[in-house]
Amino acid sequence: MNIHNEEQEVATEPRFVIKPKDINDEISWAQINEDVLRSLERPRALYWVIFFASLGLFCWGVYCEIYQYNTGLGVAALNNPQVWGLYIATFIFWIGMSHSGTLLSAILLIMHADWRKPIYRFAEAMTTFSLMTAGLFVLVHLGRVWQFYYVVAYPSERWTWPNFSSPLVWDATAIGSYLTTSVIFLYFGMIPDLAICRDKATGVRRLFYRVLSVGWKGTDWQWANFRVTYLTLACLLIPLAVSVHSIVATDFAVSQQPGWHTTSFPPYFVAGALYSGCAAIITLFIILRYTFRFEQYMTIPILEKLCKLTFAISMVWTYLNMIEYAAVWYGTDPVAKQTLIFRATGTYAGWWWAMNILGSVVPFTLTFKALRTHIPTMMVVSLLLNLGMWIERFMIVTPTFAHGYYPWTWNDHWWPNWVQIGIIAGSFGWFTMLFMLFCKIFPSVSMYEVKEMVYHRSQARKGAALLAASAPQPAKS
């Protein structure tokens, strides 16, 4: 006899919990093709407005660089000891931003996190273009730009080679490798999508896609080789990405200057890179979602996951930041401690506090679901986080020059001038131009991977429903 005198209903919903839907798994594959290929159509007026604005910004940067090239780096307000200025800071910023694509494509690939599938394509594109933009700064900051090729290890009749002990040569090797590998990775992952474009395109564009898709027919041996190659490239790209920003960090870490000579710099830089990259992905996510009406693919649950990832990385960065301060504060080098105090209380103190607030406090907005799912807030937050990261790079470079070992050489009233700011603005214009061109020529959402995501999730859901249906029913009273 039943103790509770009530009818027990048969359970109608499945007994297994289904996760919140990252994507509607009932989208038809034909619909996916159509939605994404629509983004490659002739652009509207707003696109051209923004494109030409970016072009204008880039041309302004080019004008500043031509002036600097012809007259000398002195016009950029650089002096002794402030020899590096904003160029190196922004160079590191752009390299940092490039790590996001690798994180999303490669790291999440080997972790089988399939929520990356609708968003990794534009993230990889962002990686490639960030690296190209960073390369600009390597040239801009040189005193004799026209002889930049001395850094490359080419055989010359004078038997002179670059100095392989120099971190800048390691930079050149690492960034060259990373750029090459990123471009290869981006292109290779696009081959099945380029085949889709080829099948739908007409005229000259058809020839263009046919050449690029190297005879892709979706055959089983093509897929098998493709999968193995893609996975191998991802596994090779991850250590490369980690090493690239670590090497950029050694530009500072191998120097004995106060504020730089810290072994925590390589992981600190890598964490900062992942951080600014993730924030940039959120920004581009929101822009692309709105512009191309990708709401079905770049969904709010995926944005939430991105935000949670960004928050996790921001906490890693905060920890490494605090550790750097703690190591200096409790360490034995009085000069490094003085440089830290100068950072917090000297000429650049406002920027230092801004960096710490933007980098460590603002990410807490990502912990509130209401804010995380509110698109305008996330747009503003992601831009603020990136601003914080740019300031971080500035705070690494300038205060050490301002307050080094030799008091006679201190120069703490240095600020950049219009030439430096112009060139940096030009770099943003260059990046935006490249990215906009990419979005109109290549599909910015990976069609075949979204199909796979939809397929696997619908299979899983049907499987779960089948299991639930065949599970034993609870006993009736």
Partner 1 sequence: MSFDNLSSNWSKLRVKRPQPDQYKDAPYKWAMVIDLDACTGCNACTTACYAENNLPVVGKERFLAGQAMHWLRIERYWGEGEELTQEFPEQGAEFLPMMCQQCESAPCEIVCPVGATHHTPDGLNSQVYNRCIGSRYCSANCPYKVRYFNWFDYPTNAWPSPLEQQLNPDVTVRSKGVMEKCTFCVQRLTEAKSKARTEGRIVNDGEVLTACAQACPSSAIHFGNLADSSSKVAKMWNAQQVELSAYPQKKDEQREKDEQLGKNEEVVRGYRILEDLRTYPSVVYLERIRSAEV
Partner 2 sequence: MSKKSYILALFNDFEAAARAIAALRESSLKGFKMRDVTLKSPIDHPECAAELGPRPVYIQIFSLIGALLGSSLGFLAISSAQANFLRQPRGGFPIVPVPPNMVITYELFILTAVFFTIISCYVVFTLHHQKNVLYNAAISVDKIGILVKAEPEAIAGLKDIFNRHHALEISEC
Binding site for partner 1 (CB under 8 A): 71-74, 77-84, 141-145, 147-148, 150-151, 160-163, 165-169, 172, 251, 254-257, 401, 404-406, 408-409, 411, 414
Per CB under 8 A, contacts with partner 2 among 186-205 are 188, 192, 195-196, 199-200
Q: Tell me the window of 24-32, 78-86, 279-287, 383-391 that interacts with partner 2 (CB under 8 A).
A: 24-32
CA distances in angstroms from 416 to 15, 77, 172, 278, 333, listed in the order given: 63, 6, 26, 28, 29
What's the full length of the chain, in residues? 477
Minimum distance, C-beta of residue 290 to partner 1, in the bound complex (Å): 42
Give yes or no for residue 247 binding partner 2 (CB under 8 A).
yes
Residue 72 found at the interface with partner 2 (CB under 8 A): no
Cβ contacts of residue 6 below 8 Å, gap of 6+? 477
How many CA within 13 A on the CB side of residue 201? Answer: 24
105 binds partner 2, rule: CB under 8 A: no
Minimum distance of partner 1 from residue 151's CB (angstroms): 5
Q: How far is the CB of 62 from partner 2 (least distance, A)?
A: 31
If binding is defined by CB under 8 A, does position 296 make contact with partner 2?
no
Count of residues touching partner 2 (by CB under 8 A): 55
> By CB neighbour count within 10 A (0-12 exposed, 13-18 middle, 19+ buried), where does 309 fall?
buried
Indicate the DSSP class of residue 106.
I
**What is the maximum span of the chain, computed from C-alpha positions, in angstroms?**
100
Q: Tell which one of 75, 145, 169, 371 touches partner 2 (CB under 8 A).
A: 169
434 binds partner 2 (CB under 8 A): no
Instruction: Please state the closest distance from residue 377 (CB atom) to partner 1, in A.
Output: 40
Q: Which residues contact 193 (CB under 8 A, 6 or more apart)?
A: 121, 442, 443, 446, 447, 448
Sign of the torsion formed by the C-alpha atoms of 310, 311, 315 and 316: negative
* Minimum distance from residue 461 beta carbon to partner 2 (Å): 15
Contact 99, 277 (CB under 8 A): yes
The nearest distance, CB 456 to partner 2, in angstroms, is 9
Contact criterion met (CB below 8 Å) for 89 and 396: yes
State how far the Cα of 143 lies from the Cα of 68, in Å rounded to an integer. 10
Positions in the binding site for partner 2 (CB under 8 A): 28-30, 33, 153, 159-161, 163-166, 169-170, 173-174, 176-177, 180-181, 184, 188, 192, 195-196, 199-200, 214-215, 217-229, 232-233, 236-237, 239-240, 243, 247, 250, 448, 451-452, 455
